[in-house]
Amino acid sequence: MFAFPLLVLALGAPTPSSPLAGCLAVAIGDTGWQYECGAVHLAVVNDRPDHSPVGSRAFLTGMADGVGDPSPHRETRALGGQPVQVERSAGKHLVIFAAIVDGPQGMRYLACRQADGERWCDAVLERLVAVGWLSGAVPGAIRQAPAALGVRGRPVTVPAGCQGEVLPNGGRVLCNGSEFALWVTAADEAAADTLMTRFAQLANSPAAPGSPAASRQVPCRIAGAPSTCTQLVREMGGGPVEVVWGKSSQNGSPLVVSCVANGRRLGDSPCALVFADP
């Protein structure tokens, strides 16, 4: 009657199954992984060897906009034995958690999506915060080629030295740790207007670096469709930084886009991927 306990002692206690076992692991450049675990469950870990507040804001905004939540809830959680501030964004049936762990090697970006009422992301975030810096896919996940990055069916070619990421309802391209383009397909016009308001609040936030000039309306093209965009310039110590955002309701669901470019040079920044002069 002692055979089973002796066998457990000999082999060790059973190893708990990873919450990402069986998920499809898609590489994010050479710095991270996106885990697709069915139609609802999604997780992201991305190690960036920089400490960019612009990149951080773009990441958190993009994840919140994935469910159209204008006011994410912030809470502090114990992850990997350390306190980490987590943003919780809620949609109609989905919840997205996003966190940034600032360490000596750079910033680790974490995100997880689950159905409302589930606790799947608790185990996922705990698992991802503990993996090694710039490590490969977690054991048990199945590697898959990355999905194509695109806007309104148009392929997006990521410039050299930049990083592209496919988001749940859009995408993002980050360059130089400070310039980015972000686009989100909104569920409806009301959701699009909420996102536009949020982009305006971020651009005009007193917490944003530099001194903002007055914003102005300018004609533009979003993914090839004519529109009107809002432009704002913030004067920085190293020169001006231009912020542009807008929406287009042509050719399908509303598309909301935002970008940041250094030195008033939209044409050779990530902004050119989603914006164009009329």
Going from the N-terminus, what domains does the chain have, and what CATH number goes with each? 19-144 (3.40.1000), 150-276 (3.40.1000)
Kindly tell me if the per-residue pLDDT of 251 is higher than 70.
no
Angle ∠(196,69,149) on CA atoms, nearest 5: 70
CB-side neighbour CA atoms (13 Å) of 34: 19
Query: How much is the pLDDT for 276?
Result: 66
pLDDT digits (tens, 9 = 90+) for 180-239: 888 888 878 888 888 888 788 777 765 555 666 778 898 988 888 889 999 888 776 667
pLDDT digits (tens, 9 = 90+) for 103-132: 888 889 999 999 988 999 999 999 999 999
Tokens of 259: 């970008």
Is residue 19 very low, low, confident or very high in pLDDT (cuts 50, 70, 90)?
Answer: very high
Tokens of 104: 């000596």
Q: What are phi and psi of 113, to 5 degrees?
A: -120, 135
DSSP 217-264: EEEEEETTEEEEEEEEEEEETTEEEEEEEEEE-SSSS-EEEEEEEETT
Judge whether 82 and 74 are in contact, CB under 8 Å: no
Q: At what angle do helices 53-65 and 189-203 cross, to 10 degrees?
A: 160
Question: Which single residue is written with the structure tokens 């306190």?
Answer: 83
Kindly tell me if the per-residue pLDDT of 154 is higher than 60.
yes
Query: How much is the pLDDT for 205?
Result: 67
pLDDT digits (tens, 9 = 90+) for 43-69: 999 888 877 666 676 677 767 766 767
Distance from chain centroid for Cα 54? 12
Largest CA distance in the chain: 82
Is residue 39 very low, low, confident or very high in pLDDT (cuts 50, 70, 90)?
Answer: confident
Tokens of 198: 């949020």
Q: Is 94 left (phi over 0), alpha (psi -120 to 50) or beta?
A: beta
Query: How much is the pLDDT for 277?
Result: 54
Is residue 81 very low, low, confident or very high in pLDDT (cuts 50, 70, 90)?
Answer: confident
- Cβ neighbours for 114, distance < 8 A, ≥ 6 positions apart: 40, 41, 94, 95, 120, 121
Query: How much is the pLDDT for 5?
Result: 38
Is residue 35 very low, low, confident or very high in pLDDT (cuts 50, 70, 90)?
Answer: very high
